[in-house]
Structure 1
Amino acid sequence: MESYYVTTPIYYVNDEPHLGHIYTTIAADVLARYQRLAGRDVFFLTGVDEHGQKVQQAAEARGIAPIALADQVVERYRSLWPELHITNNDFIRTSSDRHKKGVQAMWKRLQDGGAIYKDFYEDWYCVPCESYWTETQLKDADCWDHKHCPDCRRSVEKVQEESYFFRLSDYQQRLIEHIKNNPDFIAPASRRNEVLSFVESGLNDLSVSRTTFSWGVPVPDDEGHVIYVWIDALTNYLSALGFPDQEIPAYWPADVHLIGKDILRFHAVYWPCMLMAANLPLPKRVFAHGWWTVEGEKMSKSRGNALRPAELLAQYDADVIRYFLLREVPFGQDGDFSFTALKQRYNSELANDVGNLLNRSLAMLQKYRGGVLAEAGEEHASDRALIADIEGMQRDVAAHLDHQAFHLALERIGVVVRHGNRYVEENAPWALARAGDDARLDTVLYHLVETLRLIAIALLPFMPTRMAAMLTQIHGGSLPQEISFASQGGWGVLKAGHQCEKPQPIFPRME
């Protein structure tokens, strides 16, 4: 069986889950669910990043140990994911023994291959971003006067300490060639161009250990040094799979790393160079999505507008949140979360379109045939056009999700939903019933119910509970034992004599 490996970044434990975290994780879950429907052996990984100076500082500010802080925040993520219908196969913690073992093994591979050396580091460090900067980089970024990080604009601090270095510069040309030879390696295209420009401007060797704090994975055979948190964090994608007990674990390389654009450089520059140095395969794709504002304003604690998942879930069903986040904005671009826009999307596309098609179709089947499907008769042009549109939708959705174009996949499904509603108007089952045209009425009703079934399967990765409820009505009160594209994805699965339930609103209108 073909495998599929999708990851989220591991989320920092010095903050609570917010809109950005759930956005990435929902996107990864949709990919995982879709690939399972396609018959692939899926491994979906998420987790938390517990190490580093900023976590240690946050814990000290609260008067607790770093592991105590981590334990508190981990539970917030663990309990949140089921509420959003997230189906991750594993949850990695960087404080776990299996992860530490993987990080130290990665360090040894880099060291044994000559990619790490010891020297003295004296430059600038951004604790929030966990990024190193030279004076030249700060000047070029117009940040020198105020000593601010080019990425987050917060203060950088002068660091002077003995350090191990990774020979990042040695892999500059290989990385350039890989990016150019693999156009899909970094997405979207704007991020690929950004990374390529950064790498072509020249890579400096990277400081990869610290001696000024202790909360992290010790350097093997030199425990006065802690391994740089990004080597630590990135190795999670391997340690969760069983590295180093399996040198190249099952599921590796990853099919896609989903990340926010703020950590693109670490995933698209440091990580592939580390893997090259360790003689391990590179991930197939790194996709960096955009950021969200709320009602036109940047999210921040000071403004009090940092949307928390608990607040959203108190107002809206998880499936509605999942649909809106992936429908509203092209994945990869920045977007604005608006409650007005959410309600408009819900009412127009879900209540008016999907809900209306379900309610009217099953209601007519109940009224005219007692909820029982009859054999479809001779197909008319409108029937063939509807089937062709559905089959085209299935191909298009597969292509869109291969490129993480979630909004286009949902838009394409919406085309079929609207086609189905037009099909009702064009064929007017009520007129066929009055005219006594039983054969044509049976054919139209059959096409409507099969259309609904295939729409629900297409939407199942996005809205798993609402679509399960919709399929339950279509299947007469219970879901099939197996739902996959192979078993349920073709036209004509429902047979004559099949009993459907009376319609129940799946998407009641929002006032």
Structure 2
Amino acid sequence: MTSGRSFYITTPIYYPSDVPHIGHGYTTVAVDTLARWHRQSGDDTWMLTGTDEHGQKMLRAAAANGVTPQQWVDKLVTESWFPLLETLDVANDDFIRTTQDRHERNVQAFFQTLYDRGYIYAGEYEALYCVGCEEFKPESEIVDGTGAFEGLKVCAIHSKPLELLQEKNYFFKLSEFQDKLLALYQDVPDFVRPDSARNEVISFVKNGLKDLSISRSTFDWGIGVPWDESHVIYVWVDALLNYATAVGYGSDPEQFERRWPAYHVVGKDILRFHAVIWPAMLMAAGVEVPRGVFAHGWLLVGGEKMSKSKLTGIAPSEITDVFGSDAYRFYFLSAIAFGQDGSFSWEDLSARYQAELANGFGNLASRTVAMIERYFEGIVPPAGDETEAEHRIQRTVADAAAAADAAMERFRPDEAIAAIWTIVDALNLYITENEPWALAKDDAQRERLGTVLYTAAEGLRALTVLLSPVMPHATGILWDALGAAATLGALQDQPIRDAGVWGQLPAGASVSGLAPLFPRVEQSA
């Protein structure tokens, strides 16, 4: 079913020393939904996620726990990060770990290329370093400490004291790429999205770029610099290369040719690495730059960006244990404009679950199936003569499908869901206005009753296909209940760009009992 158009999309690779919170989950389900949509459109789709396992923070955490760094990261990935994908129903094609041989070997090959091309030189470096960020901090992110840290310089993000580091490092000639990067942003206007992120990147680059320290020599938990084993490659630079090494850079030219370049979805706090440093490194190595970088906003809880240190972090399972994975995916992708900051609250989640999922979509599905069972012995009836009411539904479905596809192309799952939801609202109104329960009392209206219930069932067929990338679990159950699996084949095989074409569910399909898709949630006060 592939159209040959490559769609390679990545999450950031996560730092496993943090336990996954709903912010990590948000990025991951957004990327998974976009990947599922493209996969179901017939595009040659590949979704990558993974973990970034080197660096000083990891080394210190391992030492504090009395184990080797490798043992420490193995434990974290196995206990926290693999289960996250299962909890959230994520269908990634690959999971890269930066401690894997396929990554380490080809990072060294990439570095050797930069060195051979004259883009790396040795120099002395002294700067304030934040272990939490694993980054030498720019002036804009250094603030004066207060309280216990009075008189010290602290990181604006972590509020922890910075360390003054002085060491001999290797540098990448980032300063040489200012004009090339500005030309890239101009020639490919949607290289960085949304516009707010693009403007920030352009003004940063226009202010001038400094060469980048890309090695460390004071610890050894990292990938060795190929021509100088006393140095390890700076964790951020090693991490960025995962996107290329995972699809065969340096080892499988055919796979790399097929997949690369990628779309990267990142949190806005790591935008600069992805939209400035990464394309510059690729240009220097003679490799094509990514297709684009999309920076989403932060998830705020009680007005603060989530972090474990501030106890605002909420584990995704705290939500899925109560509401299920579909509700998690639906809520975060529909309630927040993708690209902007969004606030999470239990009250909002609970209200939307009840109104939109249980009463809106769930109730529409249950009553449609129940009426076909009651009035037509569970067999989808044929449609008779159609009126303007049916034509209106057909137009709504076709328009919603087209609008949703266009929104997904723009990396706006929130706008896609809003478009799809017009079908839910239109069908609920249609059933209310056409009163099939009243038609059922009059034998003379039998054909009209069939038309109304066929329209509801076929509208649900389109809805199920369109919502399947967002809510794979509930839509799978509904697909079977509509008798669509038996007549049309597997849900994931339905071409999503044809979902709005009317009349695909055949009359005669056999529906089966449907338990509530979104059961009422009893919440303890």
TM bin, normalised by shorter chain, reads: over 0.9
- Match among 230, 241, 251 for residue 224 of structure 1: 230
The verdict on how the C-alpha distance between 1:310 and 1:365 changes in structure 2, with shifts beyond 3 A counting, is closer
Deviation per CA, 1:337-371: give whole Å up to 9, x if none.
Answer: 21111111011101111112112222222222112
Q: In the alignment, residue 227 of structure 2 is paired with which amino acid? A: D
Secondary structure at the residue paired with 2:247? coil
**Offset at 1:505?**
1.3
Name the residue aligned to 2:298: 291
Task: Say whether 1:176 aligns with 2:182.
Answer: yes
Deviation per CA, 1:78-133: give whole Å up to 9, x if none.
Answer: 12212211111111111111101111011011111111111111222222212224
Contact 1:457 1:489 in 2 (8 A): no
Please identify, of 483-492 and 99-108, the stretch whose mean Cα deviation from structure 2 is larger. Answer: 483-492
Name the residue aligned to 1:473: 481
Secondary structure at the residue paired with 1:366? helix
The verdict on how the C-alpha distance between 1:276 and 1:345 changes in structure 2, with shifts beyond 3 A counting, is same
Q: In the alignment, residue 121 of structure 1 is paired with which amino acid? A: Y
- Match among 429, 432, 454 for residue 436 of structure 2: 429
Contact 1:476 1:501 in 2 (8 A): no
Is there any run of 5+ residues in structure 2 with no aligned partner, and where?
Answer: 146-150
Q: In the alignment, residue 456 of structure 1 is paired with which amino acid? A: T
Secondary structure at the residue paired with 2:257? coil
Name the residue aligned to 2:451: 443
1:229-378 to 2 correspondences below 5 Å: 229-247=235-253, 249-301=256-308, 304-378=311-385
Please identify, of 411-420 and 375-384, the stretch whose mean Cα deviation from structure 2 is larger. Answer: 375-384
Deviation per CA, 1:161-185: give whole Å up to 9, x if none.
Answer: 1111100010011101111221211
Q: What is the TM-score when the length of structure 1 is the normalising length? A: 0.95
Deviation per CA, 1:219-253: give whole Å up to 9, x if none.
Answer: 01210011111110000001111110245713443
- Mapped to 2, the partners of 1:217 and 1:284 lie a distance apart of 27
Deviation per CA, 1:191-210: give whole Å up to 9, x if none.
Answer: 11111111111100001111
Deviation per CA, 1:124-154: give whole Å up to 9, x if none.
Answer: 22222122246xx35x965597422345443
The verdict on how the C-alpha distance between 1:234 and 1:62 changes in structure 2, with shifts beyond 3 A counting, is same
1:480-491 to 2 correspondences below 5 Å: 480-481=489-490, 482-485=493-496, 490-491=501-502
1:2-41 to 2 correspondences below 5 Å: 2-41=5-44
Deviation per CA, 1:23-78: give whole Å up to 9, x if none.
Answer: 11111110111111101121110111010111111212222211111111111211
Secondary structure at the residue paired with 2:314? coil
Deviation per CA, 1:364-407: give whole Å up to 9, x if none.
Answer: 22222112123212221111111111111111111111122122
Q: In the alignment, residue 100 of structure 2 is paired with which amino acid? A: S
RMSD (Å) for aligned C-alpha atoms: 2.0
Contact 1:102 1:238 in 2 (8 A): no
Name the residue aligned to 1:503: 514
Q: In the alignment, residue 94 of structure 1 is paired with which amino acid? A: T
Contact 2:89 2:325 in 1 (8 A): yes
1:103-122 to 2 correspondences below 5 Å: 103-122=107-126
Q: In the alignment, residue 62 of structure 1 is paired with which amino acid? A: N
Name the residue aligned to 1:61: 64
Deviation per CA, 1:437-486: give whole Å up to 9, x if none.
Answer: 22222111111100011111111111101110111110177582333337
Is there any run of 5+ residues in structure 1 with no aligned partner, and where?
Answer: none
Secondary structure at the residue paired with 2:7? strand
Q: What is the TM-score when the length of structure 2 is the normalising length? A: 0.92
- Match among 413, 420, 427 for residue 420 of structure 2: 413
The verdict on how the C-alpha distance between 1:303 and 1:174 changes in structure 2, with shifts beyond 3 A counting, is closer
The verdict on how the C-alpha distance between 1:367 and 1:480 changes in structure 2, with shifts beyond 3 A counting, is same
Name the residue aligned to 1:44: 47
Please identify, of 276-285 and 369-378, the stretch whose mean Cα deviation from structure 2 is larger. Answer: 369-378
The verdict on how the C-alpha distance between 1:183 and 1:54 changes in structure 2, with shifts beyond 3 A counting, is same
Secondary structure at the residue paired with 1:204? coil
Task: Say whether 1:493 aligns with 2:510.
Answer: no
Q: In the alignment, residue 460 of structure 1 is paired with which amino acid? A: S
Secondary structure at the residue paired with 1:95? coil
Q: In the alignment, residue 291 of structure 2 is paired with which amino acid? A: K
- Mapped to 2, the partners of 1:486 and 1:105 lie a distance apart of 41
Name the residue aligned to 1:390: 397
Contact 2:142 2:154 in 1 (8 A): no
- Mapped to 2, the partners of 1:193 and 1:109 lie a distance apart of 31
Please identify, of 108-117 and 120-129, the stretch whose mean Cα deviation from structure 2 is larger. Answer: 120-129
Contact 2:261 2:290 in 1 (8 A): yes
Name the residue aligned to 1:165: 171
Q: How many residue pairs were aligned? A: 508
Name the residue aligned to 1:463: 471
- Mapped to 2, the partners of 1:15 and 1:211 lie a distance apart of 25
Q: In the alignment, residue 210 of structure 1 is paired with which amino acid? A: R
Name the residue aligned to 2:220: 214
Name the residue aligned to 1:99: 103
- Mapped to 2, the partners of 1:303 and 1:217 lie a distance apart of 32
Contact 1:7 1:258 in 2 (8 A): yes
- Mapped to 1, the partners of 2:128 and 2:497 lie a distance apart of 55
Please identify, of 167-176 and 122-131, the stretch whose mean Cα deviation from structure 2 is larger. Answer: 122-131
Please identify, of 309-318 and 460-469, the stretch whose mean Cα deviation from structure 2 is larger. Answer: 309-318
Secondary structure at the residue paired with 2:51? strand
Secondary structure at the residue paired with 2:440? helix
**Offset at 1:423?**
0.8
Task: Say whether 1:187 aligns with 2:193.
Answer: yes
Secondary structure at the residue paired with 1:493? coil
1:77-156 to 2 correspondences below 5 Å: 77-133=81-137, 137=139, 146-156=152-162
Secondary structure at the residue paired with 1:437? helix
The verdict on how the C-alpha distance between 1:471 and 1:38 changes in structure 2, with shifts beyond 3 A counting, is same
Contact 1:5 1:251 in 2 (8 A): no
Contact 2:466 2:499 in 1 (8 A): no
Q: In the alignment, residue 67 of structure 2 is paired with which amino acid? A: I
- Mapped to 2, the partners of 1:143 and 1:186 lie a distance apart of 32
Q: Among the aligned pairs, what percent are the same residue?
A: 43
- Mapped to 2, the partners of 1:152 and 1:252 lie a distance apart of 36
Name the residue aligned to 2:148: none
Secondary structure at the residue paired with 1:226? strand
- Mapped to 2, the partners of 1:98 and 1:410 lie a distance apart of 38
- Mapped to 1, the partners of 2:310 and 2:155 lie a distance apart of 22
- Mapped to 1, the partners of 2:87 and 2:143 lie a distance apart of 44
